Structure 1
Amino acid sequence: MFALCDANSMYASCEKVFDPSIRNKPVVVLTNNDGCICAACGIAKRMGVGKKFVPYFQVKKELEAAGVVIRSSNYELYADLSQRMMDTCARFAPDINVYSIDECFLNYGKEATAPQEGWDNLASTIRKTVWREVRLPICVGIGPTPTLAKVANHAAKNVSGFTGVAVLDNEDTRKHVLKQLAVTDVWGIGMRLGAKLNALGIHTAWELANRDPSQIRKAFSIIVENTVRELNGEVRHCWETVRVAKKEIYSTRSFGNRVTDYDELRAALAGHAETVSVKLRKQKSVTGSMTLFATNSPHDNGGYVRRSFFHRFTVPTNDTRNILNVIDSAMSQLFQSGVYYYKCGVGLMDLHEQGLFQYDLFNSSNDNPRLMACMDNINSRYGRSTVQMAAKGFEQRFSMKRAFLSPQYTTQWRDIPKIKC
């Protein structure tokens, strides 16, 4: 059996944990640079406001009129509360797989028998414990396969008769829920694939579950076949016990304010270079090539400008200093006077596992692993950018715009909640 624990409106719910004054108010959270709506709490959804990915400036007056509380994305807070939620859920199963920032699968094994208190009571206990200890509202769905656990979780949120908990442990319940679930609500079935299934007369999860898996594979893919088999109780989904190393690593972001200065653009690229270097070392890889780009907005009046630069390292590296050195060579091609730069980024490619890479006999590496490890350890313990390269700068006018940012209650000393009693 598998249990899927999923936080309700994760980002908006996190905003309410340490701020009781907004717990009974509609709350929406914005994306990077306060561009679009990315999350809305249940109250906002019931009011019909806070539709996802709508530009904020288009609905600003509507939100103000409805008394909606606006928040910028507070990633530091969300990540910390997510970890607390996962740690709490992990106590209720022998194995856990964190699927995303707001959901995790609990694996009870193929031959798992119902606990003494029953699956429903166990799910309710998990839900109540997360609320009591983390103050995040979650829904719990339990089923014999990961896909059915996803189905159960959807039922716990959206199907009448379920209030935050759903268990598909018998044929009648499975049939009842699958008949009420649109095929596009099944895990892995998107709108485009759903349209093709609709054309074949498959509109519900129940109709998909009753199709011949081998025929579905011929018409679509083995992935859709596995979905059909999982809807019928056959476990086909599995997780890698060791995360596969990435083949490419990128860091890109739009600016909070347009950049027109040479040094500011260089500092922004240096920040991205530092970010990708840390990720590279974390997965114990070295890079053989690197790409950089800088661009303005395609909507600018002066025309669209996109500049890029490619560099191949003589000796693959994961030393931040070597990666930063490339930026000086790239700036002559990337920077153009008079352009209002909107976005830039750095990408590392041609990645190799550090311990297995065969270096050139005549070109020795000048990496300093001990220095890089020292920097990474300090930043891991005391916070990002505690120690950083000077090229990144210290005052960033172009940093991400977060005008409605809430305090980082759990990760910044200055923001620790103060209680007077």
Structure 2
Amino acid sequence: MYALCDANSMYASCEKVFDASIRNKPVVVLTNNDGCICAACGIAKRMGIGKKFVPYFQVRKELEAAGAVIRSSNYELYADLSQRMMDTCARFAPDINVYSIDECFLYYGKNSAPPQEGWESLGRAIRRTVWREVRLPIGVGMGATPTLAKAANFASKKLAGFDGVAVIDSQSTRQAILSQMTVTDVWGIGNRLGKQLNFMGIKTAWDLANKSPTQIRKDFSILLESTVRELNGEVRNAWDDVRASKKEIYSTRSFGQRVTDNEVLRAALATHAEVVAKKLRKQESLASNMIVFATNSPHDSEGYFKQSYFHRFTVPTNDTRNIIKVIQAAMPSLYQSSIRYYKCGVGLMDLHREQLFQFDLFNESTDNPELMKCMDKINARFGRSTLHIAAKGFEQKFAMRREFLSPQYTTQWSDIPKIKC
């Protein structure tokens, strides 16, 4: 049996945890640089405001008229509350897989017997405990496969009569839920594939479940065949104890305000280089290739400018110092004084597993693993960028705009909530 625990409107719900004054108000959260809407609470959705990915400036007056509370993305707060949610859910199952920042799968074993209180009661206990200890509202869906657990989770939130918890543990329940789901509500099926299935007369998840898996594989792919089999209770999707390492690692972000200074652009690129180097070391990999780019906006009147710089390391590396050295070499080709830069980034490619890589006999590595380990350990203990390379500077003039940022209640000493009795 699998259970999927999924937070309701994660970002917006996180904003309400420590601020009681907005718990009964519509809350809308914006993306980087306060550009677009990325999340809206249930109250905002019922009011018909806060549609995802709509530019904020287009609906600002509408949101103000509705009395909506606007918040910039507070990633530090969301990450910490996500970890608390996952830790709480993990207590209810022998195995857990964190699928994203707001959802996790719990696994109870093959042919697992129902708990003494029953699957639905267990789901309600998980939901109640997460609310009591983390103050996040979640939906819990349970099924014999991950895809059925996803379908049950959909029912727990979207279908009448479930109130936050749904369990697919019988043929009748499976048919009742899948019959009320469109084919695009099924995990892994997007609009494009959904239109093809609709054209073939497959309108609902139940229609898809009743198709021949072999024929579906011939007409579409082995992935969709696996989905059909999972909808019928055959486990085809699984997770490894250790996730596969990434093949490429990127760090990119638009600026809070346009950048025209050479030193500021270089500091921004050095910041991205430090981020990708840390991620590279975390998955214990080495990078053979690196790309650096900088660009303005395609809507600028002076014309679109995008320049990139490619570098191949003689010896694959994960040392931040070696990666930042490439930034200095790239600057003459990236920087032009007439350009108002809007975005830049750094990417690492052709990654190798550090423990398995065979180094060149004639080219010695200049990495200092102990130094990097020391820097990562200090930053993990005392906070990001406690110790960093000087090339990124100390004042980030390029930092993204977050005009509606709420306090970082759980990660900044100055923002810890104060209770007066």
Q: Tell me whether 1:277 sits opposite 2:277 in the alignment.
A: yes
SS at match of 1:288: strand
Matched residue, 1:321: 321
| Code of the aligned partner of 2:101 | I
Q: How does 1:94-105 map to 2 (within 5 A)?
A: 94-105=94-105
Matched residue, 1:34: 34
| Code of the aligned partner of 1:46 | R
Worse overlay, 179-188 or 282-291:
282-291
Deviation at 1:288, TM superposition (A): 1.2
Matched residue, 2:200: 200
Matched residue, 2:396: 396
Matched residue, 2:147: 147
Deviation at 1:396, TM superposition (A): 1.1
Q: How does 1:6-405 map to 2 (within 5 A)?
A: 6-405=6-405
Write the distance in 2 (CA, Å) between the matches of 1:158 and 1:255: 38
SS at match of 2:293: strand
Q: CA offsets, 1:85-120, max 9 Å, x none?
A: 000011111111111100111101111111110111
Q: CA offsets, 1:372-401, max 9 Å, x none?
A: 110000001111000011100111111011
SS at match of 2:381: helix
* Structure 2 unmatched ranges of 5 or more: none
| Code of the aligned partner of 1:6 | D
Q: Tell me whether 1:411 sits opposite 2:411 in the alignment.
A: yes
Q: CA offsets, 1:209-263, max 9 Å, x none?
A: 0000000000000110011111111111100211111111111000000000000
**TM-score, length basis structure 1:** 0.99
Write the distance in 1 (CA, Å) between the matches of 2:189 and 2:49: 27
Write the distance in 1 (CA, Å) between the matches of 2:410 and 2:353: 35
Write the distance in 1 (CA, Å) between the matches of 2:145 and 2:361: 52
Deviation at 1:314, TM superposition (A): 1.3
SS at match of 2:356: coil
| Code of the aligned partner of 2:145 | T
Write the distance in 2 (CA, Å) between the matches of 1:328 and 1:397: 19
SS at match of 1:149: helix
SS at match of 1:148: helix
Worse overlay, 372-381 or 309-318:
309-318
Worse overlay, 309-318 or 209-218:
309-318
Deviation at 1:289, TM superposition (A): 1.4
SS at match of 1:325: helix
Deviation at 1:366, TM superposition (A): 1.3
Q: Tell me how many residue pairs correspond in the alignment.
A: 421
Write the distance in 2 (CA, Å) between the matches of 1:347 and 1:63: 37
Write the distance in 1 (CA, Å) between the matches of 2:125 and 2:245: 36
Write the distance in 2 (CA, Å) between the matches of 1:116 and 1:352: 48
| Code of the aligned partner of 1:95 | D
| Code of the aligned partner of 1:414 | S
SS at match of 1:192: helix
Aligned-pair Cα RMSD in Å:
0.7
Deviation at 1:17, TM superposition (A): 0.1
SS at match of 1:67: coil
Percent identity reads 75
Deviation at 1:350, TM superposition (A): 1.7
SS at match of 1:355: helix
Write the distance in 2 (CA, Å) between the matches of 1:246 and 1:140: 29
| Code of the aligned partner of 1:360 | D
Deviation at 1:358, TM superposition (A): 1.6
List structure 1 runs of 4+ shifted beyond 3 angstroms. none
| Code of the aligned partner of 2:205 | A
Deviation at 1:31, TM superposition (A): 0.3
* Structure 1 unmatched ranges of 5 or more: none
Deviation at 1:198, TM superposition (A): 0.3
Write the distance in 2 (CA, Å) between the matches of 1:64 and 1:163: 31
Deviation at 1:194, TM superposition (A): 0.2
SS at match of 2:355: coil
